[in-house]
Every structure is written in structure tokens, then in C-alpha cells.
Chains A and B, each alone.
Chain A
Amino acid sequence: MIDTLLSSIGHVFTLPHLLFMMIGIFVGLLVGIIPGLGGIAGMALLLPFLYGLDPGYALGMLMGMVAVIPTGDTFASVLMGIPGSSASQATVLDGFPLAKKGQAARALTSAFLSSLCGGVIGAIILTGFILVARPLVLAFSSAELFVLTLLGLTMVAVLSGKNLFKGTAACGLGLLVGAIGAAPATGEYRMNLDIDYLYDGIPLIVLGLGIFAVPEIVELLMGRGSIAKDGNTDLGKGWSAGIKDVVKNKWLVVRCAGIGSLIGTIPGLAGSVVDWITYGFAVKTAKDPSQFGKGDIRGVIAPESANNACACGAMVPTLLFGVPGSGTAAVFLGGLLLLGLEPGVSMITTHLDMTYTIIWSLALANILGAGLCLLLARPVAQLTRVPFAILAPAITILIMFAAYQASRSLGDWVALAMIGMLGVLFKTAGWSRPAFLIGFVLAPGAENYFYQSLQFHGAEAFLRPGVLIILGLILLAFFLPVIRKAIMRRRQTHEVVDSAPSPEEDLLESRGFGGVDLLLLLMMAAVGIWALFDISGLMPLGKAFPTLAAFITLLSVIAVVFNGWRRGMIRVKQPATKSIAVVLGFFVLIGISAVLGFVCTAVIFCLGFQRIVARKSLGFSALFSLGVAVFLLGMQHTMNLHYPTGLLDDVVLPMVPFL
């Protein structure tokens, strides 16, 4: 085994292998940095060249790409609040607030360094683990997977802070939205309003962009500043600060990488829960968790060290069982098949050399990819200094571009705008957006695994040792803060904690109630009742889960109202008319794009915005719009993408040279 290991390392460090891997890394970073693309787009770029290539080199190229995708997407998460892929949802929570504080370089440096460490730790764990992983993977039945999704769902309680019921209401709504589409047990279609687009459910990328990115743009557009609010901090200092942060939190990195690589090995779960679980872990274990969500560097370090490790872990089920652990792994599996490598036990017997080539390419690509990003971090962080009025149209187009890649139908844009509206309301009234996203992400797993575990094991499903261990962890997660608070309270009689928020702020946060709250409560109640009505005709197994989700939503809505009534509400102003107007403007932009075509609309929109809103010179505006057009058309050509065409695009685009 040691021989194989060493000869694989020798192979990894040969010049052609390194060259092919660098190509893979560049492609991976490119598709990682641009939101909405990701493993599948990268694979589409590389696949034509895999054919006929030496399998060892081809693997290097594939691994280079697969390894750095969770690294590259951090740029968009931190700098623009756009979750580039599932691996970077939790990073947005603290990364973007840090960027707003003018600490983008610090956040990026920490993120990349954690990614690097996480990836390498993951590869080291994988080296030994892959040989003995079979029994562990087999130990995780649907029952264990179900309680793991429950563990993910409990993070809602961690993230919703003082308004637990607002959090559960948001989560319930997320579960409901996540249940749109085919029921796993019966194949019946639910809550799709007979719209073709909804048969597959709403794509995660669209939901993530809508709930996180759209409200941020709206806010920044109205604020008219740059992303970084603290004008006088020196971005350059962030570099060393970021490195220091990681060193200071080295055990957090190690533990999150460990959690990441273990969860990654479990097929069917992987990317969707790991960043929430590690984020929750970081919040839970922090001595002072008050800054999470407002710009705590640990909120960046934890998910970033976990997601690269998770990409390593996801290789275990992919290689050993041919069951991919994540979306990117599924794509990687396709590449393996095209190379004539059928995954299975043979990957640790006859093809062990290939397996180690994969693992060590993964480690090396992580180091090279994160290294490249570290070099880029400082210059790219300057983007947060650019006045947002200039950046806003570019980000708007970028978000539309990203959302449209999800399923390439106009439905993506409509869904984006509607979820964006919800996001704006959530943000205005302080409802937990992560809770909504977690509900959405975990809905299919929760439903499917619950149903399967009952079918396979009956009620005994929940007495399995693995289940009991994970349930114990959940209870611990719930009661630890209670116990800690009790201890803290006892201590507080002696000393006053400085960092506690002022009583007034605390009061407002827990009892403030305004017009948007009312609107959201009414809307959620309506959606809950409508859902119950819509699914009433389905088979019992098809409607059990959405019924539960609707009840969670409705009961939480009642609890919020009851709580407010019992504890006394404090009327607060929640000005949202302007933001709603901006989102309505977004609807108009979508409508125009659908009629005229995306590329032309994007150019006209950018030109108009720079001239009229940002009041830039004609030359600047023209150059800016040209840049946007070059980006869109360039992407279309290199990645074989499609945009909605329309009246104007059909006329103008054929006249553009080089097309």
C-alpha cells in the first residue's frame, strides 16, 4: 500500500500531470468564481478533452477542477453576498457583513486559508479512511440520514436567535417550497399550479440568489454607497489579519474539516447540510456568539474549512460504491465512466493507484487553487470600494445570468424575482433567511429518508444505535446553551458581561412588530392553508410531508401572533415601500429581457443606469456596457450557454463580428 501511495505521489508530481491539473484548476476557478456555474459547467468544458487522454492525466484535470470549485465561489459569497453554490451558503452569513465593514480582504484570506487547510486535512483523512470506509458508509441507513437532516434542521433554532417562532415559520415555509414537485414516495406532483416549470421544483441556486443576493442589492442600491461602509480601514491589512484569524482558530479548522470529511462520505447528504452543521457548531462552541451573522470571522472559517474537506469525503461513496455524494461528485462520476473506470471495490484493490492519484491530486489542487485565490484576494477585495451605483447593474445582470443557468427557462427569473421579494420582506422585518433556506434544502431529504426508514425498519428505525447517537447530539445541541446560560446567569450576579446587547435593543429585537411582519404572517397563513387545500386529493404518502410542513408554518404563525399578544408588542416602522418598488423594477427588467432578448436588454440597462442613475460620462457608460456584453457573449461561446433571445437580439446579434 505504501508503495502504491508513493508511486501515486510520484505520478502526481510529473510535469504533464501538473500541467493538466493546472488547466483543471483554471477551469474550476473560472466556473467557481462566476455565480450560477459550477461543477456541471466545468465538466461540460473539460469532457470533450477527456476522451482519448491518458486516464492518469485526465484524472488530474478532473480533480483540479472538482477540488477548487468550493474555493472559487467564496469570492461572490463574500464580496457580493451571492451564494455561488451550495458550498458557500453559510459563508455569506458572516462573509458579506465583514465585506460591508471593509474587511473583505481579511474574510477572503481566512476563507482561502481555511479552504486550503480543510482540503489538505480532508485528503489526509481520506488516504487512510478510504481503505476502511466501506463498513462506515454501509452503517448509515436511511434512518441515520433522516436524523442527520433533523440535526441540520435544528440549526434553525441556533440561527433564528430571539425569534424562535419566526425562525420555525420561515423554516416551515422553506419546507413547503422544497416540497414542490414530485413526491418521492408516490411520484405525484404537488403544489405545481400546473406550471411546467414547477414540476421539477424551484432550483436551489435560484432560491439562494433570491433570498440572499436580491435583498442585498436592493439595500445597497438605496444606500448609494460602496459595499464597504468603513471608508478608512486599509484593505491591505486584511491579509495578515486573515492569516492570524485562521491560526487563532486552528482547532476550529481541524474540527470542521473533520466533520466535513466525515459527512462528505455519507452518500446522499454531503454538501447540503455540512456548511450549516459546521456553522451551527461554530456558533455553539463560541464563547461569545453575539457577533455571528453580523460579521464574525469564525462564521467564515467554519464552513470554508468544512466544504473543501467535504469534497474530499464525497469521493468515498463515489469511488467505492458508484453513488455520488454531491452534485459535483455526480459529474465527476460521469467523467470516470468516460475514462472507462467503473467505480466499485476495484478502486481500492486493482485500481488503488488511480484512487491515490485522485486523492493526492485533490490535495495538491486544493493547495494550488487556494494559493491562487490568496494572491487574488487583495486586489479583488478592492471591488468593495467601488461605488455601488456603478457596480449595481453589473451585479444585477450577473444574478440574472446565474439564475437563468439553473434551468434555462424564463421561470427561473420569475421565481428569482418572487423569492427576491420574499427576501426583501424577510430582511426588512428581521426574519431568518437562513432558516428559510435550510428548510428548503433539507425538505427532500427529510421527507424521503423518513419515509424510507419507516418502510425499511418500521418503528425500530429510531432505536438503531447510530440514530440514538445522533439524536443525543441533537439534544446536546439544544440543551447545552440552556445549561451554559444557567451557568452564565449565576456568574453574572458577580460580574456584568460587557458584550451583552443593551436592554432596549434586545427588547426591540424580540418584541418589535410592524407592517411587514403583518404582511408576512398573513401571506404565510394563506400559503399554508392553500397548500393543505392543494394536496388534499393526493395519496396519504404523497401528502404526509407537505401537510406537516404546512402545519409547522401555520402553528408557528399562530405562536408568533400569540407571543406578540402575550408579551406586548412594540410597534416599529418597517419601511419597505422603496425596496418593494426596486424589486418591482426588477420584474420590469425581466419582462423587457424576455421580449427584447437578454444581451441587448443588459447593454441598454447598463448604459441607461450609468448615464441616468450613476451620472457617469458617456464614454465610461459605453465602455462599461461593452464590458458586460463581452462577458455575456464570451460566456455564451466558451461554455455553450444559451440566453433568452428576443426581438432585438435576433436582429442585433447576427451583426456582431466573431459570432
Chain B
Amino acid sequence: MFSTVSTREHHATPSRRHSLKHHARTTAMAVMLPMIGLLPLSSAAHAASDVPDTLTWTVPFGVGGGTDVWARFMSNWVTKDLPGHPAVVIDNVPGGGSISGVNLFSKRAGNGGDEMLVTSASTQYPAMLRDRRVRYDYADWEPIFAAPTGGVVYASSSLGKDSASALKALSSQEVKFAGQNPTGLEMPVLMAFDLLGFKVDPVFGMKSRGEGRLAFERGEVALDFQTTSAFKSNVTPLVDAGQAIPLFSLGMMNDEGHIERDASFPALPTFSELYLAQEGHSRDDEAYQIFHKFFASGYAMQKMLLVPKDIDPELLEQYRQAARDLAKDPEFLKEAAVKVGPYGLMVGKAAAAQLHSAMQLTEAQHAWVKNWLMERHNIRLQSR
């Protein structure tokens, strides 16, 4: 607790950027010295090209968190297909639930193409909700690639012996759900509960989804949600033991922007299937559209690597080509499946189009969310 780190003052002056390059090397030297001979050292030779020889990735989260782990994993692969194999320096700038670091990046990042930003759902949502502290705009950036995650909603077997009876019970019986906060990653899930007519009484203040799962295992809540990798390692045993019943997945988004079944859970219906199967429901329902936007920016494109949009277009294309190559690399896919989740990458213009449409909430949609938070969760949204 004592050692929690937060914001990092990032002075992106030319001298700082220069010294950062050296950071990478000196740090590596200092720590690697005792390990020479034990570790395979990759060759640092590189050809002359437009690609900078050091890329700095601003990660607005602490070391060891989910987004940091993802960024570090990706940084090992993404430069493989770039000319010169540039080094990647991860700069963790935590604070304000990622808002502080992104604000700094937005203010200071240059257009040299060497400064990149890693974001997550907790960066996207405050921007969509127009949080007062947000001083960044996704329209200023272009995504190089985005990585999705899926998730599954499951219920306690005390609600019914199979998913049909559990779903039925949920519309008549009030159950508790343990969440972190109503404006975070769980927001679309909470919306989904409402759209399906579940009577859910959420309890907020959990420090992670893991704590929510603990509350489920303790029997304090009868309904829970986990993202794919956590579901596979921690909920599957509960399903096998007959304690948990998977109800639906959030699904995956295809290139047309429609939600289809999650390849990791082909047997599970998606939320959209359940919703649209009900009488009088359509894709054009305002609430469903809002859910779709938050799903797109929080799940279908949960983690992203972005660059300022005014970098050299050829360089951007080079980055995107490298990402496209990576997305097809079987070796990468195999390792990614183990370490960051069983989903592919969304690359290039497709990602950009999806991102920009997802991030735009109309005035009416914003007002709907504000009202929903107030009426449903008694939360006053402090927006701009």
C-alpha cells in the first residue's frame, strides 16, 4: 500500500527525449551486466530508416497491472517486423485512474513518431463521459492496433440448475452484484443487466474484478462477470464443480461492427442474442446503441497503442503494416493466447473507424447515460 506509485512528471523536452534513449541502454547495461552469458542478447544493429531507433510508450498505469503487462508483452513483438528493430522504453505514468498520464501525453507528445500511448477502457470511458479532469481527445490520435477482450456473465447454481432457469430467476428475484464502480469497466455489463430486465442490486467499492469473484465464491453475490482469461482459470473450476452456471458472453465485434459469438465460448449465447430475441427489441434501441458504444471502446478495443495523428503518414503506415504482419504471425498468436488472451489484433483503418465511431456519444446519448447513472445507481456524473 505504501509503495503505490502514481503520476510521473514527464518532461518531454528534446534533452529528455535524448536522455531517454540512453536510459534504455544504460538501464539495460546496468542490470544485464551480471547476467551476460545467461541471457540471449538480441542484436541491436539496425538499418537506416525513417523509424526512430527508440520508441517511448507512455503507459498511464502502474508497473505490473494488466495494461502494463499487455504493453510489455506487445513491446517485445511489435518491433520485430519494423526496420531496424527499434528499442521500446515503457514509461509508466500512473495516477487518476490513467487520466493524469494521458493528459500529460496529450500536452507534451511530439509528432516525431517515437512517442506512443497505451490506453485501456479506463482511459476511454472518462473521455466518453466527459469527465472534468480529461484534457485529452481521441480525435488527436490514430490507433496502430487494438486488442479486444471478452467476458462472461455467470450466476450461482442456487438460482437454477441450468442457464434457462437461472435467467428466469434473475428477472423475478433480486440478486447482488459486486462491482468496482458504476462508471468503470463494468458499466456496459450493468447496462446489459438492465436491458435484460435483471433485478440487480450492485455493491460497489471492490478493488478488482478478482474481489468481485471472491464475493461470489463466498456466496455474498449470486451474479458475477469475469473477463476471458480470469474466467478460464478461476471460474471454469466452479462451473465444473456445479457452483457456477455461465449465462452469456459479451461477444466479439466483427469487422462490420456487429457483435457475434466469442470464439472462446462458441457454445454460449451473446448478450445481444438474448436481448434481440426478446419481443420489441431491435438494434436501433437507444439503450442498446449506447451499450454497443461502451462495449466497443471497453471490450472490442479495450487496449490500444496510439500515436499523435500528425506524424508522418508513411511512418504510420509502416507501423500499421508491422502490426498487420504481427497479427498473422502464428508464433505470436500462440504465445499471446497463453499470456494476454485468445484474441487477435484489430489493425489499421478498421480500428480507427471503429474507435472514432465508438468514442462519439451524441448529446442525447450522454444525457441518457447521465440520467441512467442518477436514476439507477444514484450517482451524479460530474462531467464538463
A residues bordering B, Cβ < 8 Å? 16, 19-20, 23, 27, 37-41, 43-49, 51-53, 83, 85-87, 89, 137-139, 141-142, 182, 184-189, 196, 199-200, 203-205, 208, 267-268, 270-272, 321-323, 326-328, 330-335, 337-338, 340, 342-346, 405-410, 441, 448, 451-452, 455-457, 539, 541, 637-640, 642-645, 650, 653-654, 659
* A338:B73 contact, CB within 8 angstroms: yes
**A268 lies within 8 A of B207 (CB):** yes
Are B183 and A267 in contact, CB atoms less than 8 angstroms apart? Answer: no
Q: Establish whether residues B218 and A141, one from each chain, have CB atoms under 8 Å apart when the complex forms.
A: yes
Besides A182-B181, A638-B27, 19 new A-B residue pairs in contact (Cβ under 8 A), listed by A number:
A46-B31, A48-B31, A48-B72, A51-B73, A141-B218, A188-B380, A268-B211, A327-B1, A330-B65, A332-B64, A340-B338, A340-B339, A409-B100, A452-B205, A455-B201, A456-B176, A541-B378, A638-B26, A638-B30
* A-B interface, 4 closest residue pairs, ranked by CB to CB distance from nearest: A334-B64, A86-B2, A38-B3, A407-B6
| Closest Cβ–Cβ distance, residue A21 to chain B (whole Å) | 12
Point out the residue from B16, B62, B338 that lies within 8 Å of A645, measured CB to CB. Answer: B16
A residues in contact with B201, CB < 8 Å: 455
- The docked-state distance in angstroms from the alpha carbon of A373 to that of B379 is 51
B292 within 8 A of A: no
Known: A45-B31, A638-B31, A654-B15. A451 touches B205 (CB 8 A): yes
The answer to whether B22 and A659 have CB atoms under 8 Å apart is: yes
Give Cα A330–Cα B210 distance, bound, in whole angstroms: 12
Q: Restricting to B65-120, which residues have a CB under 8 Å from any CB of A? A: 65-66, 68-69, 72-73, 76, 89, 91-96, 100
Does A199 lie within 8 Å of B133, measured CB to CB? Answer: yes
Q: Is the CB of B207 within 8 A of A342?
A: no
Contacts A268-B207, A642-B9 given; does A40 touch B16 at CB 8 Å: no
Residue of chain B at shortest CB distance from A454: B203
Interface centre among B4, B10, B11 (most CB of A within 10 A): B4
- Enumerate chain A residues within 8 angstroms of B379, measured Cβ to Cβ: 186-188, 539
Whether A38 lies near B2 (C-beta < 8 A) is yes
With the chains together, A338 CA to B39 CA distance in Å? 17
Q: Which residue of B lies closest to A181 (CB)?
A: B96
Q: Max chain B CB contacts within 10 Å: which of A86, A326, A332, A452? A: A452
Q: How far is the CA of A212 from the CA of B338 in the complex (A)?
A: 46
A326-B1 in contact (CB<8A): yes
Chain B residues with Cβ under 8 A from A184's Cβ? 181, 204-205
Asked if A407 meets B3 with Cβ closer than 8 Å, knowing A187-B379, A268-B207, A539-B380, the reply is: no
Answer whether residue B365 sits at the interface, using C-beta atoms and an 8 A cutoff. no
User: 19 interchain pairs (CB within 8 A)?
Assistant: A40-B63, A53-B39, A83-B2, A85-B3, A139-B218, A141-B220, A142-B220, A184-B181, A187-B181, A203-B4, A267-B211, A270-B1, A322-B233, A343-B233, A448-B205, A637-B22, A637-B23, A638-B30, A654-B15
Contact among B64, B133, B205, B210 for A196, CB-based, below 8 A: B133
What residues of B have a CB within 8 angstroms of the CB of A405 in the complex? 5
A645 touching B72 by the CB < 8 A rule? no
Of A196, A333, A343, A410, the most chain B CB neighbours within 10 A belong to A196
Contact B339 A337 (CB under 8 A): yes
Q: Is the CB of A40 within 8 A of B62?
A: yes
B281 interface residue, CB < 8 Å from A?
no
* CB proximity of B247 to chain A, nearest CB, Å: 21
Contact in complex: A51, B72 (CB < 8 Å): yes
Q: Does A644 contact B63, Cβ atoms closer than 8 Å?
A: no
Give CA–CA (A344, B62) in the complex, Å. 23
Contacts of A16 in B (CB 8 A): 38
In the complex, what's the smallest C-beta–C-beta distance from B67 to chain A, in angstroms? 10
Which among B28, B40, B69, B211 is the interface contact of A334 at CB below 8 angstroms? Answer: B69
Given contacts A187-B379, A333-B64, A539-B379, are A327 and B230 in contact (CB under 8 A)? no
Q: How far is the CB of B68 from chain A (nearest CB, A)?
A: 6
Residue from the set A41, A138, A271 with the largest chain B CB neighbour count within 10 Å: A138
Chain A residues in 8 Å Cβ range of B338? 340
Question: In the assembly, what is the distance between CA of A89 and CA of B230, in Å?
Answer: 34
A419 to B215 CA separation, bound complex (whole angstroms) = 37
Give the docked Cα–Cα distance between A341 and B221 (Å): 27
Complex Cα distance A334/B72, Å? 11
Bound complex: CA A639 to CA B27 (Å): 7
Q: How far is the CA of A334 from the CA of B63 in the complex (A)?
A: 8
Name the distance in Å between B69's Cβ and chain A's nearest Cβ.
5
Question: Is the Cβ of B205 less than 8 Å from the Cβ of A185?
Answer: yes
Binary interface encoding of chain B residues 10-33 relative to chain A, with 1 for a CB under 8 A from any of its CBs, else 0: 110101101100110011101110
Check if B34 is an interface residue, CB within 8 A of chain A. Answer: yes
Contacts of B72 in A (CB 8 A): 47-48, 51, 338
Give the distance in Å from the alpha carbon of A51 to the alpha carbon of B27 in the complex: 16
Tell me the nearest residue of chain B to A346, going by C-beta: B233
Is B237 part of the binding interface, using a Cβ–Cβ cutoff of 8 Å?
yes
Chief secondary structure at chain A's binding surface: helix
Which of chain B's residues 229-250 have a Cβ closer than 8 Å to chain A?
229-230, 232-234, 237
Q: How far is the CB of B376 from chain A (nearest CB, A)?
A: 13
Given contacts A196-B96, A268-B211, A322-B234, contact A188 B39 (CB under 8 A): no
A-chain residues with CB within 8 Å of residue B229 when the two chains form the complex: 342
- CB pair A640 B23 closer than 8 Å: yes
**Contact A452/B34 with A187-B183, A200-B95 known, Cβ cut-off 8 Å:** no
- Residues of A contacting B133 in the complex (Cβ-Cβ under 8 angstroms): 196, 199
B7 within 8 Å of A by Cβ? yes
Nearest residue in A to B32 (C-beta to C-beta)? A49
CA distance A182 to B204 in the complex (A): 12
Task: Check if B39 sits within 8 Å of A323, measured CB to CB.
Answer: no
Residue in B35, B181, B210 whose Cβ sees the most chain A Cβ within 10 Å: B210
Which B residues are CB-close (under 8 A) to A138?
A: 214, 217-218
Instruction: Give the most central of B91, B215, B234: most A CB within 10 Å.
Output: B234
Pick from A41, A47, A272, A457 the residue with the most CB of B within 10 Å.
A47
Q: How far is the CA of A463 from the CA of B233 in the complex (A)?
A: 34
Q: Roughly how many angstroms separate A271 CA and B4 CA in the complex, as a whole number? A: 12
Distance, CA A204 to CA B34, complexed state (A): 34
Task: For A327, list chain B residues within 8 Å (CB).
Answer: 1-4
B182 at the interface (CB under 8 A from A): yes
Interchain CB contact under 8 A, A337 and B215: no
A337 touches B220 (CB 8 A): no
Cα distance A188–B379 when bound, in Å? 8
Most chain A CB within 10 A, of B22, B26, B204, B211, is at B204
Identify A650's interface contact among B13, B94, B215, B237, CB under 8 A.
B13
In the complex the two chains form, is B339's CB within 8 Å of A408's CB? no
Q: How far is the CA of A565 from the CA of B27 in the complex (A)?
A: 62
User: B194-231 vs A: 1/0 string, CB under 8 Å?
Assistant: 00000001011101101101110110110000000110
Between B1, B18, B68, B94, the greatest number of chain A beta carbons within 10 A of the residue's beta carbon is seen for: B1
B382 at the interface (CB under 8 A from A): yes
Query: Quick check: is B8 within 8 A (CB to CB) of the other chain?
Result: yes
A456–B203 CB distance below 8 A = yes
Residue in B closest to A538 when the chains form the complex, CB atoms: B380
Report the bound CA distance from A335 to B213 in whole Å. 21
Give chain A residues whose Cβ lies under 8 Å from the Cβ of B92: 44
Q: How distant is the Cα of A405 from the Cα of B28 in the complex, in angstroms?
A: 21
**Shortest CB distance B109–A (Å):** 15
Can you name the residue of chain A whose Cβ is closest to the Cβ of B89?
A640
Q: Which of A204, A267, A409 contacts B2 (CB 8 A)?
A: A204
Q: Quick check: B220 and A456 within 8 Å, CB to CB?
A: yes
CB distance from A279 to the nearest CB of B (A): 16
Known: A40-B3, A645-B16. A337 touches B218 (CB 8 A): no
Assess the B26–A40 pair: CB atoms within 8 A: no
CB-defined contacts of B63 to chain A, threshold 8 Å:
40, 43-44, 47, 331, 334
**CA–CA, A653 and B14, complex, Å:** 12
Q: Is the CB of B64 within 8 A of A335?
A: yes
A204 to B18, CA, bound (A): 33
A184 to chain B, nearest CB (A): 4
Residues from chain B with Cβ under 8 Å of A408 in the complex: 5-9, 93
Task: Give chain A nearest CB distance to B122 CB in angstroms.
Answer: 12
B213 and A321 form a contact (CB under 8 A):
yes
Cα separation A642 to B91 with both chains bound (whole Å): 10
